[in-house]
Amino acid sequence: MHETSLWIATIGIILALFAFDFFVVVRKPHEPTFRESVFWSTFYIALALLFGASMHFWWSDFNTGEYFAGYVTEKSLSVDNLFVFLVIMARFAVPPKYRPKVLLIGIAIALVLRALFIWAGAAAIEHFSWTFYIFGAFLIYTAIGLLREDAEEAGHPEYKESALIRGIRKVVPVTKGYRHGAFGVKEHGKRMVTPMLIVVLALGTTDVLFALDSIPAIFGLTKDPYIVFTANAFALLGLRQLFFLVDGLLQRLVYLHYGLAAILAFIGAKLVLEALHVNSISWINNGEGFGWAPEISTGVSLTVILSTLVVATVTSVIATRKRNAKDLPTQVAQD
């Protein structure tokens, strides 16, 4: 299939999935049940896996491996987004029945902004090989920042309104209520926006901060912008359902940020090694690559990422159970 046709078809499918989600799944305001969340989460994960498996037939096994490594990475990093999404929802006191709509539109905005990041990142990598050094160093720096957080800080992030949100509040009056889920209303002859619009913009723009590490991370696994985009798109497509599915489980993943730090550090090191291998900066080794710098394969990357996530999840569950068992006698004594 011609590259342009492939992009058009893929974007069309993703837009159709968002439209289906908006007009069919979240059309009627309601709070999703656990069973509904499980069903749609499974649906979107299965869809992402089927898409990756299909690459074996119309592309290559190498690209298939890159897609799966990228998807797993983006999916695991997107879980970190949910902590902040929870804070934003609580900060604006979003009624449960409006949360699906808010999340879906906010995620759609996030995907558009990420697409711009991907385009810029791909252009930078294509023309400037030294971009690998910057991406790699930034990921390692981010990983160190995550390691410095303790479990309590990681599970209770703070939310600060961006300049965009503060600007909107100054220019346009905001209603106190949600006005049946509308984004804007006219009251007393004055045009006003509702908190729905503010929350949607807050979710979409806040995700950009996470893209600052997730986009360089996936570029450390593949240089193909198509794979980077589709892995991000499928990771974000199921994020709304995942929010309601793991809402009560996020606090149990006490060591998740350590696992994410390890993944970012690994990919950062991989990028630096690749930058050394293909080095073209004149004042580093006379512009020649370092032959001793090893190239880490996609298979090794995927193994490291999956193993790290399993270890972080298992140790989190064990630690949470021990903590609950320790707190139980105290609670019984108080009762």
Please give the biggest Cα pair distance in the chain.
Answer: 73
Percent of the chain at pLDDT > 70 equals 87
| Number of other CB atoms surrounding residue 96 within 10 Å | 12
Percent of the chain at pLDDT > 90 equals 16
pLDDT at 247: 61
Task: Parse the chain into domains and list their residue ranges.
Answer: 3-334
Mapped onto helix, strand or coil, the DSSP state of residue 89 is: helix
Average pLDDT over the chain, rounded to an integer? 81
Position 334 pLDDT exceeds 60: no
Residues 6+ apart with CB under 8 A from 329: none
Position 183 pLDDT exceeds 60: yes
Q: Per DSSP, what are the bridge partners of residue 258?
A: none
Give the DSSP H or E segment for 187: strand 184-187
Position 91 pLDDT exceeds 70: yes
pLDDT at 43: 92
Mapped onto helix, strand or coil, the DSSP state of residue 101 is: helix
CA-based nearest residue to 48, from 10, 1, 85, 102: 10
Q: Who wins on pLDDT, 79 or 328?
A: 79
CA–CA dist 81, 240 (Å, integer): 11
Q: Could you report the per-residue pLDDT of 210-254, keeping only the tens digit for each?
A: 677 778 888 888 889 999 999 999 998 888 878 777 665 666 777
- In angstroms, the first-to-last Cα distance of the chain is 68
Helix axis angle for 225-237 and 99-127, nearest 10°, is: 170
Position 332 pLDDT exceeds 50: no
pLDDT at 113: 84
Q: Could you report the per-residue pLDDT of 1-41, keeping only the tens digit for each?
A: 558 899 999 999 999 998 888 887 777 777 788 788 888 88
Both tokens of 8, joined, read 């058009």
Provide the pLDDT confidence category of residue 327 given band limits of 50, 70 and 90. low
Provide the pLDDT confidence category of residue 126 given band limits of 50, 70 and 90. confident
What's at 74, amino acid-wise?
E
Both tokens of 279, joined, read 């080095």
